[in-house]
Amino acid sequence: MSASLTSPPSAAAPAPFRNEDIRDFSDPADRRSLAAALERARAALGRRYPLVIDGKKVETGKWIDSRNPARPAEVVGTVASAGLDEAHAAMDAALRAFETWKRVPVEERAAVLFRAANLVRERRDDFNALLVLEVGKSWVEADADTAEAIDFLDFYGREALRYADPPKLVPVPGEENRLSYIPLGVGIVIPPWNFAFAIMAGMTTAAAVAGNTVVLKPSSDSPVIAAVFCALLEEAGLPPGVVNFVPGSGRTIGDALVAHPKTRFIAFTGSKEVGLHINELASKTQPGQIWIKRVIAEMGGKDSIVVAADADLDAAAQGVAVSAFGFAGEKCSACSRAIVEASVYDAFVEKLLANVAKLSVGDPSDGPAVYMGPVVNEGALNSMLRYVEIGKKEGTLLTGGSRVAGLDGWFLEPTVFGDIAPDAVIAQEEIFGPVLALIKAKDYDEALVIANNTEFGLTGSVYSRDESKLERARDEFHVGNLYFNRKSTGAMVGGHPFGGFNMSGTDSKAGGYDYLLLFTQAKMVSKKVTAAGNGRSGGE
């Protein structure tokens, strides 16, 4: 934080961070609470949400309909769509706000996050209901998303206080030296739809608590949740202009904001193709630009779970099923490839298919018994169905592969292909849906080679009882988040700093102790002093 923000935390420093508990809805009171919230959300269907620029509500005459993927005729909300004029106005507002926000004491900035976290706790099921309706999350997945948003707010607030306490430096005789972390400037935050609350809130508030100001361009598949959260930040005391809410076309306002000469950084989570486009665009110096823009990118994966011959096959089959089909496989950490040693391949497949057969698919608003809901939109579903047709030519369809009969929305059956070659299309390209490829490896050596044969490097898991095999994987399996004898999804803030290698992004490690460094720059100030410490270096 800046030199004026380096006073240590006050006596009322917050308690040590702990993760918010995630509910499984076995408690009838929890079920009643979310059911009531869904009724409230449905009563507000079709509400209009304007842009928010410098604290002012702005309508543009153009609107984005956010539809329930389980019931596409149901419009969750209609959000104003920004054009270039509004994008430039948001940038101007963020630039003005930065001049004052960067000087606000860090304790006050962190307090906004702590108040926001408490407000989210109070309205937890209202956010859960929006996640169920707007992006099709099951009740448990929605609650985990909201819990993670609370965790980010609490964790980053504490991190801001920690960074405000200057690190100890090696003493230099005759000098006072201080290193401080100062904000960067105006950032463009472009979050994804799949963790529509947690990642959006985490990237936005990490930037803001570090003293930056933000132009937030949410996904067009999940703008309502972002709009509601921005209103909550205002309620928590965030000043006007610190976060400006401008949904709109990525190719129109997204590109313009990334290219703007006053943009200092871009925080992005999404596809490899869009991430690379942003990185390329940000690398081109614009007239009037006086810095190298920083890109913080998390771009997806093609994640593998390796099942060794000595693994607990029951645990492995359950872990693969949960990792592949939780939230319909629409997680960058989802298992899309299971690499299984040949000697246990058939036994594993039998156990896996038994697990998949138990998964219930339906409208997640029907209740917590629904495990897997729809995919996010019709375009995504059609893309997945094209991959299914490719998979039928590349291997053996073991289960699924079709739209779910009897449901209106964008539902795809949990789909498993067997006997897939390591270099097959469905073993290499990110499908981002409930489609799993099973790859047979002759032995553990080959399994590790296959695990590293994609351009991605986000998450991975290994199931084995042999500690020497796990240690080999620790050294050789090249991903940012590697798990042993557990699923490849479900990173916890503070416990599993999250981010990947290679085409999975810049290894940003969200929810980790390094993350706020990405939104700051280090400034070193040295002052020559006399032995008496009066600052004089000679006679008057």
Catalytic positions, written as ranges: 298, 332
CB 249 within 8 A of CB 83: no
**Residue 175: other Cβ atoms inside 10 A:** 11
Q: What are the DSSP calls for 449-460, one per residue?
A: HHHT-SSEESEE
Nearest to 455 by CA among 421, 519, 500, 491: 500
Burial of 271 (0-12, 13-18, 19+ CB in 10 A): middle
**164 phi and psi, to 5 degrees?**
-75, -15
> Residue 451 contacts by C-beta under 8 Å, 6 or more apart in sequence?
304, 306, 339, 460, 477
Q: Which residue, chain included where needed, has tokens 């963790």?
A: 195
> Residue 537 contacts by C-beta under 8 Å, 6 or more apart in sequence?
528, 530
Alpha carbon distance 262, 291 (integer Å)? 9
Q: Helix H segments across 443-507?
A: 444-451, 467-476
Alpha carbon distance 398, 124 (integer Å)? 39
Report which secondary-structure segment, H or E, holds 29: helix 28-43
Report which secondary-structure segment, H or E, holds 183: strand 175-183
